[in-house]
Amino acid sequence: MFDRGNGGFEDERESLVAQLADRDRIRRETTLNALRSVPRHEFVPRHRQREAYDDRPLPIGNNQTISVPHMVAVMTDLLELSPGDRVPEIGTGCGYHAAVTAEIVGPENVFSIEYHESLAQATRDRFRRLSQSGRFDYDDISIRVTDGHDGWPEHAPYDAVYLTCATPDFPSTVVEQVRPGGRLLAPLGDDPQELVLAEKQDDGSLAREPHGFVRFVPMQGE
């Protein structure tokens, strides 16, 4: 979609994506291309950039982390996103996962919610800087500072929603904002949590499918 140019760390990024594909962590071509496109080193503190393509989480401030790459790949695969899908993300963090999602659905269709103003502003600045480079188009990703339990009703209904933070269950208000047939994905429960994919039924109920145990930071707010 865009001319990526020479942003640095291309070999490291390609090696990581190849490893994830070999380990069957990436199954969909759209996911592979998205992870190949997004410069993860731009989403971590400068002094941690050399670690950006290790398959592990890294601290980003406010006791938050950037998710481990294989988990971003797994979650992206599970949602089965398509171009034009409208997707809220609860837990912007540094913006890496939102950028991966935007590579598939389009940046104008990503609505990311962050509890911490400082993280949200840093991510807005990062998206703006990357977009101004001419190699990326993340400036149209919407970011809102609020309690993620409330979702983002103004742009509903959504085709899919995912949480990058752990919660006891899918917030009811967020469920209401997803269309019938839409998908929800979140780490549910205590530490460790269980990654659960759900499909919203016509009657509003959720058909759930577990996908293993994970460890995420807890959801903030009420």
- Within a 13 Å sphere around the CA of 82, how many CA atoms are in the beta-carbon half? 4
Give the list of residues 6+ apart from residue 132 with CB closer than 8 angstroms, or none: none
| Catalytic choice (37, 67, 112, 142) | 67
* E strand or H helix at 211: strand 206-214
Exposure letters 148-179 (e unless 16+ CB within 10 A, then b): bbbbbeeebebbbbbbbbbbeebbeebbebbe
Q: Is 67 a catalytic residue?
A: yes
Q: Please, which residues have CB within 8 angstroms of residue 19's CB and are 6 or more apart in sequence? A: 55
How many helices (H) and strands (E) in the chain? 6, 9
Q: Catalytic residue positions?
A: 67
